[in-house]
Amino acid sequence: MSLLILISVSILTVMLDSIDQWHNRYGHIFFVLEWVVTAIFTLEYILRLISIKRPLSYIFSFLGVIDLLAIIPSYMSIFYVGAQSLLVLRVLRLLRVFRIFKLTRFLSEMEFLGVAIKGSLRKISIFMFIVLTLVIILGSVMYLIEKRQNGFSSIPESIYWAIVTITTVGYGDISPVTPLGKFVASIIMLMGYGIIAVPTGIETTEMAVAARKKNKKNEVCPSCGKEGHDMDARYCKLCGEKI
């Protein structure tokens, strides 16, 4: 828990130090505090290497790489100005909370979410290709309608406007002026709401399918106690009992 507190303090220090007002007033305190935290992390990393039987396996493990990335930026800042901004990588060390509190149920839920994302990846990829084609067409149309004098200086610039509009972000740095351009823009805005809903529906459907598979897999036969049934199974494949 103390390490998690130090990680949070270190990240907060880096964020506050990026504000000019705070840097000018408390920069020296941030500097000392950061190096104290770095020294503690370095000592913890070295002691971990000494105490475990297979230090190389830890060094090249996921958490080992994260631990190393957490201390490298401070030493890099000695030779490269500005490298200390990479200290925000320490937020990755908060992943240790899963090991400290042994919240394995969250890891299983992450696996469940990964299955759902993997199942919907192809559908979403096809959908994104259609959206990309659509914004290219609409951007080109707006380039022909609005012309250069209204801010649509090139087709890529018009495609950028179409992406900003269809995602309902609406920066407002470019906007149509002609009545026809406003009409087309209105259609794109209305299409944007439907486009945002499609990936959500796809992902929700896959999550429901993954949930059914998970429940079926964990279902126990009341007769023989067999687990791991197929999703569409109605009878136990070991004893034939209805499930």
User: In the predicted model, is pLDDT for residue 104 greater than 60?
Assistant: no
pLDDT of residue 100: 46
pLDDT of residue 21: 87
Instruction: Indicate the average pLDDT of the chain.
Output: 77
Is residue 235 included in any domain, yes or no? no
Average pLDDT, integer, range 55-64: 83
**Are 214 and 198 part of one and the same domain?**
yes
**Are 118 and 211 part of one and the same domain?**
yes
For the chain, where are the E strands, in sequence order?
none
Is residue 237 included in any domain, yes or no? no
pLDDT tens digits for range 71-100: 777 777 777 666 555 555 555 555 544 444
Whichever domain contains 135, its CATH number is 1.10.287.70
pLDDT of residue 182: 92
Band of pLDDT at residue 52, cut at 50, 70 and 90: confident
Is residue 33 included in any domain, yes or no? yes
Helix pair 179-218, 155-166: axis angle to 10 deg: 50
User: In the predicted model, is pLDDT for residue 229 greater than 70?
Assistant: no
Q: For residues 65 and 56, what is the distance between their CA atoms, to the nearest angstrom?
A: 11
Contact of 107 with 123, CB cutoff 8 Å: no
pLDDT tens digits for range 160-184: 999 999 988 888 888 899 999 999 9
**Are 55 and 120 part of one and the same domain?**
no
Is residue 83 included in any domain, yes or no? yes
Contact of 3 with 96, CB cutoff 8 Å: yes
Strand partners, 235: 242
User: 165 or 4: which carries more pLDDT confidence?
Assistant: 165
Q: Domains in the chain: how many in total?
A: 2
Domain extent, residue 124, equals 105-218
